[in-house]
Structure 1
Amino acid sequence: MSVARVVKVIPGRTVFFVCDLQAKFRPAIHGFDSVVATANKMLKMAKVLDVPVLVTEQNPRSLGPTVPELAFAALGQLHLGTIAKSLFTMLTPEVRDVLSDRQSKSIAIFGIESHVCVLQTTLDLLEAGYDVHVIADGVSSCNAEEVPIALERMRQAGAQITTSESIAFQLQADASRPNFKAFSSVIKDEKDSTKASLQSLLRSNMKQSML
């Protein structure tokens, strides 16, 4: 009997992928503000945990820029770039070039839409040999019913379905590290937002998966 490979997020070799969180999508996406809130939390964690962040925008000439709430400038050099794309997958030639310059192993992805760009990115990353961690309280679609099916499809393909708080603690790993006070502050500051995003996004997903 074969034993399943244990897949862990790897501190120091992880990149956060922010998928197409553009303001023009706000009225159309289920729980969009909750997705943005989780993304903001992950950006704060990126700064504390020293995790690089790569952003894409779907056809920004027509669909406009990423929501202004996401302050990438605060990340400094951790912001690897914001890349325009027409492909649904984030794994464009430009993104592949960025990743090729790094020793990345784990990708944590959040954004929209679960069943289109997030799914196709996840499948392409898995095919390319990356460990993929999908932040379940940080993804959504126009139709809420699409989300649990997309998450299950990604799970079947080998992606790890997790939450923003779980992956943050995995990356922190040790309460004795000197950054733990800053890490703990983010957890406390984002407590209410985290709860609201979980309720907004995952509660409806769980109901759909039970149907």
Structure 2
Amino acid sequence: MLLAREKSQLLIVDVQDKLLSAISGKDRVVDRCVNLVLAARTLGIPITLSEQYPQGLGPTHDSIRDAFANDGLIVDKTEFSCVKNERLRDHLHDLRREGRTQVVIGGIEAHVCVTQTAMDLESQGFEAFVVADAVGSRSKASRKLALARMQKSGVDIVDLEMVLFEWMERAGTPEFKQLQALIK
């Protein structure tokens, strides 16, 4: 199943500074999450950010918040799976009722919150797409195991370019010209 912008929503999971400091490949994760947010905003795709216990772990990384520009919803949580948080679950399902059945996911940690969220989404009838180059864990081994486990359970594993090109569908459009810089 290809991604379609009119069926998609974007979920960025817990990319907070106090968590990021220990993440392997953290600069790549932040960069790809920023690009996902910018693309989603350009294409009119709803964006949701989750923050794991922000009182202790702080807010979402500044560059992602800047790209986000308050164009969506930010939800605090203490649950590992976003779907176990009532406000997040209700919001994701509200978007689903509007035809947004595909959830594109970036964030941390791949083997905890991202995996649990993606697998829970799949079990509730969503199509979960985890952006491999936009997720990270403290160890490379944990990230690798998470991606393999999610894929085995039916979660689609994609990368940033796959998401952008599938959302855009063709070259030569105003959106393509805007987003082309994110690919180079």
TM-score (norm 2): 0.91
Q: What amino acid does structure 2 have at the position aligned with 1:149?
A: L
Shift of 1:145: 0.8
Shift of 1:9: 1.3
Contact in 1 for aligned 2:38/2:67 (Cα 8 Å): no
Contact in 2 for aligned 1:80/1:98 (Cα 8 Å): no
Match of 2:92 among 73, 93, 99: 99
* 1:85 matches 2:77: yes
CA distance change for structure 1 residues 163 and 50 in 2, over 3 Å: closer, same or farther? same
CA distance change for structure 1 residues 73 and 162 in 2, over 3 Å: closer, same or farther? closer
Contact in 2 for aligned 1:10/1:105 (Cα 8 Å): no
* 1:15 matches 2:9: yes
Paired position in structure 2 for 1:196: none
C-alpha separation in 1, matches of 2:149 and 2:31 = 25
C-alpha separation in 2, matches of 1:123 and 1:13 = 19
Paired position in structure 1 for 2:33: 39
| 3-state SS of paired residue (2:24) | coil
Paired position in structure 2 for 1:209: none
CA distance change for structure 1 residues 170 and 23 in 2, over 3 Å: closer, same or farther? same
Paired position in structure 2 for 1:62: 56
| 3-state SS of paired residue (1:12) | helix
- The unaligned stretches of length 5 or more in structure 1 are 1-6, 192-211
Contact in 2 for aligned 1:47/1:75 (Cα 8 Å): no
C-alpha separation in 1, matches of 2:69 and 2:63 = 14
C-alpha separation in 1, matches of 2:106 and 2:176 = 24
Listed as ranges, the matches of 1:92-131 within 5 Å are 92-102=85-95, 103=98, 104-131=100-127
Contact in 1 for aligned 2:37/2:67 (Cα 8 Å): no
Deviations 1:25-81 (A, max 9, x none): 1221111121001111111111222211100011111111111111357545xx321
Q: What amino acid does structure 1 have at the position aligned with 2:80?
A: F
How many residues align structurally? 180
Deviations 1:144-178 (A, max 9, x none): 11111110100011011110011110010122434
Deviations 1:56-114 (A, max 9, x none): 011111111111111357545xx321100010001121012212332211000010001
C-alpha separation in 2, matches of 1:87 and 1:36 = 22
C-alpha separation in 2, matches of 1:100 and 1:151 = 24
- The unaligned stretches of length 5 or more in structure 2 are none
Larger radius of gyration: 1
Contact in 2 for aligned 1:18/1:56 (Cα 8 Å): yes
C-alpha separation in 2, matches of 1:137 and 1:75 = 23
| 3-state SS of paired residue (2:103) | strand
Shift of 1:186: 3.1
Deviations 1:12-31 (A, max 9, x none): 12111100000111221111
Paired position in structure 2 for 1:161: 157
| 3-state SS of paired residue (1:45) | helix
